[in-house]
Amino acid sequence: MAGSTAVSAAPASVAGGAGRQRRLVPPLLDKLAAYSWRLIAVGLAIVALVWLTGQLLIVAVPCAVAGLLARGLWPVARSLRNRGVRPGFASLMTLGGFVLVLGAVVALAGTSIAGEADQIGPTLSEGIDDVADWLVEDSPFDVSRADVERVREQARSAIQSGAGAGGGGIASGAVLAVELVAGLVLSIIITFFLLKDGHRWFERFVRAFPEHRRDVVGRSFRRGWDAAGGYLKGAAILGVVEAFTIGLTLLLVGSSLVAPVMVVTFLAAFVPIVGAVAAGVIATLVALATAGTIPALIVAAVAVIVQQLDNDLLAPVIYGRAIRLHPLVILLGIAAGGALFGFVGTFFAVPFLAVTLNALSEARTGEPTVAA
């Protein structure tokens, strides 16, 4: 009897010791250990995707341009299809009309810009020289000419490395021209097929998922699609407002290079926050070099006021929930995109974040949305 009691007590003591050993690991650490390998796997997949995108940038960029262009032209092509026009002809008419309108705008604006576009680089350099002279000679700061030249050289190197990031360095002029032409042709072709067959591709994409997932996948895709449209519309409207205001201010203070600065300001609006700041700096430097110190201060003040009004009043209304992103998220996204893919990453960072985060938000909440 005593022997049996001893035998039965041994397994109990062993089990108790094992339980005490298991309790030595805190529950939080146990959960972190369970999820760590999953996080590592996800991280490796993201790194591989970023690397592959960098290697295929010559294909990824035209695809991204075509996606945004197709989203902007989609309502026109859809309207033509609803009127009975066959999808191929509707896509061809939409894309052809866009090319004609774009060519007409470039032709009209080119006459006023062509004579001044070559001057904007030397004018900006002259404005930077004026600021450097003030820092060295008249500012209350202890800045030497060598310090200024060192900063300018560092900035020049940073810009050059950023321009070549993700692309294997700065390409020669001939190679760059060929890549631009090839990318433009590829973008137009991809845009045509997106307009023509995009709705069928979307249906096949949704059907590839299990039936109980198709509804949320479809709504997430449409939410991202709406976000891309909201980004394009909002950036274009804000770009027109900022370009008109800055251009009118430059004209009133007697500055030159008004048309090129307006074009730069409009294009910069497609990179929220950072683009507006860069455009304001460019306008101020141009005014400083061509009109003087007081006009430059006026332009700088107007640029700051316009940016604040746009960020606080116009942008939330125009963008809606398409870019309901915290400014810090936008800044970090632009910085990461520029570090990974250079100027291309800077330009596409915000629409990528807008589309991705809106689609993930729809997948998580499951709130119904109305397709655009």
pLDDT digits (tens, 9 = 90+) for 274-314: 888 888 988 888 888 888 888 889 999 999 998 888 777 77
Task: List the structure tokens of 251.
Answer: 């004209």
Note the pLDDT of residue 244: 93
Mean pLDDT over each residue of the chain, to the nearest integer? 79
Assign residue 210 a region (left: φ > 0; alpha: ψ between -120 and 50; beta: otherwise).
beta
In a domain, residue 46? The reply is: no
Residues in the chain, how many?
372
Cβ proximity of 223 and 358 under 8 Å = yes
In a domain, residue 38? The reply is: no
Asked if the model's pLDDT at residue 226 lies above 50, the reply is yes
Note the pLDDT of residue 249: 93
In a domain, residue 269? The reply is: yes
Type of residue numbered 102: L
- Supply φ then ψ for residue 277, to 5 degrees: -65, -45
Cβ proximity of 318 and 238 under 8 Å = yes
C-alpha closest to that of 242 among 221, 271, 206: 271
Question: Any long-range contacts for 101-109 (C-beta under 8 Å, 24+ apart)?
Answer: 109/259, 109/263
pLDDT mean over 173-193: 80
Cβ proximity of 239 and 270 under 8 Å = yes
The percent of residues above 70 in pLDDT, for the chain, comes to: 80
Note the pLDDT of residue 14: 47
Note the pLDDT of residue 11: 53
Task: Concatenate the DSSP letters of all residues of 185-206 into one string.
Answer: HHHHHHHHHHHHHHHHHHHHHH
pTM listed for this prediction: 0.72
227-243 pLDDT per residue, tens: 888 888 888 888 899 99
In a domain, residue 305? The reply is: yes
Q: Which residue has the higher pLDDT, 35 or 367?
A: 35
In a domain, residue 277? The reply is: yes
Asked if the model's pLDDT at residue 261 lies above 90, the reply is no
Cα(first)–Cα(last) distance of the chain, in Å? 82
Strands (E) located in 202-336: none
pLDDT mean over 65-71: 91
The percent of residues above 90 in pLDDT, for the chain, comes to: 11
Residues 6+ apart with CB under 8 A from 185: none
Task: List the structure tokens of 350.
Answer: 């915000």
Assign residue 168 a region (left: φ > 0; alpha: ψ between -120 and 50; beta: otherwise).
left
Asked if the model's pLDDT at residue 1 lies above 90, the reply is no
Separation CA 173–CA 239 (nearest Å): 30
In a domain, residue 32? The reply is: no
Note the pLDDT of residue 193: 92
The number of distinct structural domains making up the chain is: 1
280: containing domain:
54-365
Q: Which residue has the higher pLDDT, 268 or 149?
A: 268
pLDDT mean over 212-233: 88
Neighbours of 137 (CB within 10 A): 9
111-160 pLDDT per residue, tens: 666 666 666 677 777 777 777 777 777 667 766 777 767 777 776 666 66
Note the pLDDT of residue 47: 87
Separation CA 309–CA 323 (nearest Å): 17
Note the pLDDT of residue 301: 93
In a domain, residue 40? The reply is: no
Q: Which residue has the higher pLDDT, 110 or 125?
A: 125
Cβ proximity of 165 and 341 under 8 Å = yes
In a domain, residue 75? The reply is: yes
